[in-house]
Amino acid sequence: METIPFLDADRARAIANEHGTPVFVYDQSTIEAQADKVLAFPHAYGYTARYAMKALPCGAVLRILHAKGIHIDASSGFEVERALRAGFPAQHIMLTAQELAPNFDALVQKGVIFNACSLHQLRVFGERFPGTELCVRINPGLGSGHSNRTNVGGPSSSFGIWHEHLGEVLEIARHYSLTIRGMHTHIGSGSDPEVWVHCAQMALDIAAKLPDAQLLSLGGGHKVGRMPGEPSADLQAIGARIVPMFKSFAKEHGRELRLELEPGTFYVANAGALLTRVMDVVDTGADGRRFIKIDGGMTEILRPSLYGAQHPMALYPGDTDARPEQDYLIAGHCCESGDILTPEPGNPEGLHPRRLPEARVGDLLVIGGAGAYCAAMSAKNYNSFPEAPEVLIGRDGAMNLVRRRQTLEQVLENEL
């Protein structure tokens, strides 16, 4: 059985008794410690650390990172509005989106930094804001990720302007008297630092062809190990490799580029857990499988169903009896064959049991590594289950409710 460092049995029981289950639990100290690591990333000529808020847009988390001096990477106009409401100034928000927001003009006029992700977006910006500045997102031609669904670079990805279209980028910029002040690239969420460094050099080579660029964002995608033994990115080691590359660029091209990064998972993945309760324990015969059924599932954590993601799990018995360990598959509460939280590593179609104490109805099951792309990315309201509440453990140990549980009335309120 794995451990969840900030959520032991006593604290889990206290939260479950007060707020019910399922409930997300976040740890402020872990978030701040991860932010410190991002802020300490080595750089040559200045540096801005952003938070890819799509990972976890909870207002309480945004305010923690704002207080640490982190800026925002927003993936939609709606995320921009949430960041503004959390206290971020518009000038600290970069909008990098697949579609132009309905209030796109108003956001730019407020001072939000726009990052054009296609030739069409660049033209629209030029038509509406000629003679101004912006950034462009470029697909350098290579990506990385543990599956195709997490790879956001290379020829199979729609994200960013394909690097071979750089001539058209410059032509559009000249036509509308635009100044391309920054370049952005992002390859995905792989764990291989060599690929990350290689793509950084590719990005620098492209930035050399943008004569007015003063900053280069190398995106995020810094791996965080959720499971025991799973590696995490060493930001100091990566940064140490990047600094000489930026210095060589400055010597060759006479431009000292400011570095930007925009991790999401790195800040919050292991700062969050989903606390659930065992609702049933079933099996499929002597030669079959044992299943623990919980009162959460893909309505809170879609990652295992979506791409076979692995999450640590701990079972806290409801009594003090000594119990033998057994192998269990964990099934979510949705009437959906894909709502299985224990897929086989590397094979989303397979199943892989977890070794846990003998489970009984009423026990608590905690799913770790649930701070990133869980509450933010779920099968919301499937089977009409309401959204789970969120609790933040502060530095002082206080357990504060930061989002209430959704009610059925709220689920239905927009129906006519």
Do the Cβ atoms of 286 and 128 come closer than 8 Å?
A: no
Rg (CA), the chain: 23
Alpha-carbon 291 to chain mean position: 29
Q: What whole-number distance in Å separates Cα of residue 259 and Cα of residue 247? A: 12
Active site (annotated) includes residue 335: yes
Which string of DSSP letters, residue by residue, matches 146-179?
SSGGGB-SSTT--SSEEGGGHHHHHHHHHHTT-E
Question: Among residues 135, 199, 334, 335, which one is catalytic?
Answer: 335
**Cα dist from 406 to 60, 200, 239, 374, 389, whole Å:** 17, 43, 42, 16, 7
Taking the C-alpha atoms of 94, 100, 105 and 109 in order, what is their torsion angle to the nearest 10 degrees? 0
Orientation angle between helical segments 119-128 and 166-175, nearest 10 degrees? 10
Q: What whole-number distance in Å separates Cα of residue 32 and Cα of residue 34? A: 5
| Polymer length of the chain | 416
Q: Which active-site residues does the annotation give?
A: 335
